[in-house]
Every structure is written in structure tokens, then in C-alpha cells.
Amino acid sequence: MATRDAVLAELKQVVDPASGQDIVAAGMVRALSVEDGAVRFVLEVDPARAKAMEPVRADAEARVKALAGIQNVSALMTAHSQKAPPELKPARKAEPQGPQSVPGVDRIIAIASGKGGVGKSTVSANLACALAAEGRRVGLLDADVYGPSQPRMLGVSGRPASPDGKTILPMRNHGVTMMSLGLMTNDDQAVVWRGPMLMGALQQMMMQVQWGALDVLLIDLPPGTGDVQLTLTQKFAVDGAIIVSTPQDVALLDARKGIDMFNQMKTPIVGMIENMSTHICSNCGHEEHVFGHGGVVAEAEKLGVPLLAEIPLHLDIRLAADGGAPIVVSKPDSAQATAFRHVARNLIAKGLA
């Protein structure tokens, strides 16, 4: 049976005549799914080139169809808008104003945790890639000022360009448009952020990055309930917050504080995700509850918020995150990836992404 990797390898043989790159590297292949010998994917193209790209689509379809074990291929072409959001002036001094939206961005979802190190960034990266795999136009803003880890997790490096000195071009990998404060500071420099700087940096990232047209922008927040969380929920129209926690009491105690803060700010809680739920040995598959079990389920029930997923503690999740291709991308058919894809589909079904 042909795997997702085999399909991708075949698609990499197809060249986009305009850029000279293969269609996968050119970021045109979206929403690829390989299930039981049936392959579906979308080729996202500039509307002006739709006609010229038809032979490319047909070639891609024929190549995949010729793979062993493939019975069915559906390759659709969709037009994506090249239009950038209107140019924005640099952020002005903070003025009292109601929550604003980000031009071109349909929804904003914050991903938060009470405590550091519970896997909030890992969840954000995987969720973003899972939403992209479902064909959503997704952005990820790494607002974790104390430890921006998205460049490493999404395999992105280099300094973002600013062609006009006012707006910033985001980076893109695995179908995700991303920006991180970590790309704006030097790797080896400890950054000491004070409140007003944080507010300015967040506003800039939200308003001066050319996000383009997005179905959803995920914000990977720093842990806790500090200035970034307050600025985000006061200044921007945040559609919901997802709280990530491990099952330990201490993590849950902090998660509860986070939920209280979002409630006070009138940001709806989309649900909780229990991370490092059980440990699954990568050698023998034995399961053990390193941090206890069921804590988040019980807490979610008590608080009346949905439990969106229980993600196991698994070596593959860490290796994938450290390697720059989250597990949803590197092992899309694994049970761990399925857990993230389930959350993505749930968010789409609820109209939140």
C-alpha cells in the first residue's frame, strides 16, 4: 500500500513551471490525505494561472494513480488570493480602544497553559499543521516571549524580511504561515522584556506581519497569566482559548488560574487538552501514567469545559518537534498524530478554525 511519503515523493517530481520548484516545495499541495488506497489533495494556485496549471494538475493526478496500491485519486485545483492585507502604519502608542480584529484573519485562537513546559508549543505546532492538512489557511504566532520554540519546531530559520520597513513578511513551512518573536531577536541573547515592550511587540506581530488571508490564527502564548495574555485579550478579538495542561495537581492549579483569567476577560474557553497523559514506551508499547491520569478530565468536567484530547507522552512527539517537522507532518498516520488531527477536525466542525 502506498504511504503518504510515497505520494509526496511522487508529487515532488512535478514541477511548477512558474517558479521552477516542485509543487510540494512551492507550497501548492494542500489537504493531502492517503487512506485505504484513496488519495485526495488540493493544488492551490493563483487564479490567474488556473488554466495554465491544468496540465500540471493532470500530471500530478496521473503520477499518483500509477503508484502501486492506489485505486482512487482526486486532485482538485483551488484558487488562492494573492492579495495582501492593506498596509498598516507602525503601531501607535497604546490608546484605550476595544478589541480589534487582524485584517484578513477570520478567527483568533489562543493556546495557553498555566505552567511552563507542559507542551503548549508542541500542541500549537501540531494543531497548526493538522489544520493545514485539513486544508485550512492557518497562521501561527509564537508569542512565547520567554522561550520562543516555534522556529525549531516548525523547522524555520533566518530573519524575516521587511520589504518596506513597515510590514514584516511571515515565514511558511508545512503549510503554516508563521511568525515568532524568536526570529526577531538574536539566538544567543537573553531578552529581558518589560511590560510596555511586550505590549508593543505583540501589537506589531499581530498588525504589522502580512498574515494574508487566514481562516484562523493560532497564538502560542507564554505560560501563566501575564502582560501578553492581558494585552492579547484586551486589544484583540480572540474567539477562544485552548488550555494545555499535564495531569499533575500543580499544573492543574495553574491551568485553573489561566481559565479564570480568560473568563474574566470574557474570552470563551474552547476546551482543555491533557498532554503527557500516559507514557507509551516506544520499544514495547507499555503504558504508564507518569504524571497521574485523568486529572484534566476531572478538572474539565468540574469547570464545565470540553476535554479536546488526551495526548500521550511519546518519544516520537519530542523527536519530531525537535527535528522541525511535528509528528502530524512526519508520522501523519501514527496514533499520536491522529489525536491532534482529531482536535483540528473538532475545531473545524465547531466553526472555530
Closer residue to ligand ATP (CB): 135 or 223: 223
Query: What does the alpha-carbon distance between residue 166 and residue 163 come to, in Å, rounded to a whole number?
Result: 8
Q: Residue 331 — φ and ψ, nearest 5°?
A: -135, 70
Give the shortest CB-27-to-ligand ATP separation in angstroms: 25
208 binds ligand ATP (CB under 6 A): no
221 binds ligand ATP (CB under 6 A): no
Strands 216-220 and 108-112, by their bridges, are: parallel
276 binds ligand ATP (CB under 6 A): yes
Identify the CA nearest to 239 among candidates 115, 111, 58, 70: 111
**Judged by CB under 6 A, which of 121, 167, 225, 278 binds ligand ATP?**
121
Q: How many residues bind ligand ATP (CB under 6 A)?
A: 21
**Judged by CB under 6 A, which of 37, 99, 103, 116 binds ligand ATP?**
116
Query: What does the alpha-carbon distance between residue 100 and residue 97 come to, in Å, rounded to a whole number?
Result: 8
* DSSP codes, 66-97: TSTT--EEEEEEEE---PPPPP-PPPPSP---
Whether the Cβ atoms of residue 145 and residue 198 lie closer than 8 Å to each other: yes
327 binds ligand ATP (CB under 6 A): no
Query: What does the alpha-carbon distance between residue 162 and residue 330 come to, in Å, rounded to a whole number?
Result: 31
Residue 119 annotated in ligand binding: yes
Closer residue to ligand ATP (CB): 119 or 324: 119
Residue 114 annotated in ligand binding: yes
Closer residue to ligand ATP (CB): 131 or 243: 243
Residue range at the interface with ligand ATP (CB under 6 A); choices 14-22, 77-85, 141-149, 300-308: 141-149
318 binds ligand ATP (CB under 6 A): yes
Query: What does the alpha-carbon distance between residue 39 and residue 73 come to, in Å, rounded to a whole number?
Result: 5
Give the shortest CB-281-to-ligand ATP separation in angstroms: 12
**Judged by CB under 6 A, which of 30, 120, 235, 341 binds ligand ATP?**
120
Within 13 Å and on the Cβ side, how many CA atoms surround 101? Answer: 12
Residue range at the interface with ligand ATP (CB under 6 A); choices 63-71, 109-117, 155-163, 280-288: 109-117
- Report the alpha-carbon angle 11-16-19, nearest 5: 135
Closer residue to ligand ATP (CB): 127 or 321: 321
Give Cα 283 to chain centroid, integer Å.
29
Query: What does the alpha-carbon distance between residue 23 and residue 31 come to, in Å, rounded to a whole number?
Result: 13
Residue range at the interface with ligand ATP (CB under 6 A); choices 76-84, 176-184, 266-274, 314-322: 314-322
Number of C-beta neighbours around residue 346 at 10 A: 16
Closer residue to ligand ATP (CB): 77 or 143: 143
Residue range at the interface with ligand ATP (CB under 6 A); choices 5-13, 66-74, 88-96, 311-319: 311-319
> Under the phi-then-psi rule, with left for phi > 0, alpha for psi from -120 to 50, and beta for the rest, what region is 24?
alpha
Q: Please enumerate, by residue number, every residue annotated as part of a binding site for ATP.
A: 114-121
| Residues tagged in the binding site annotation | 114-121
* Site of interaction with ligand ATP (CB under 6 A): 113, 116-122, 144, 147, 149, 223, 275-276, 311, 313-314, 317-318, 321-322
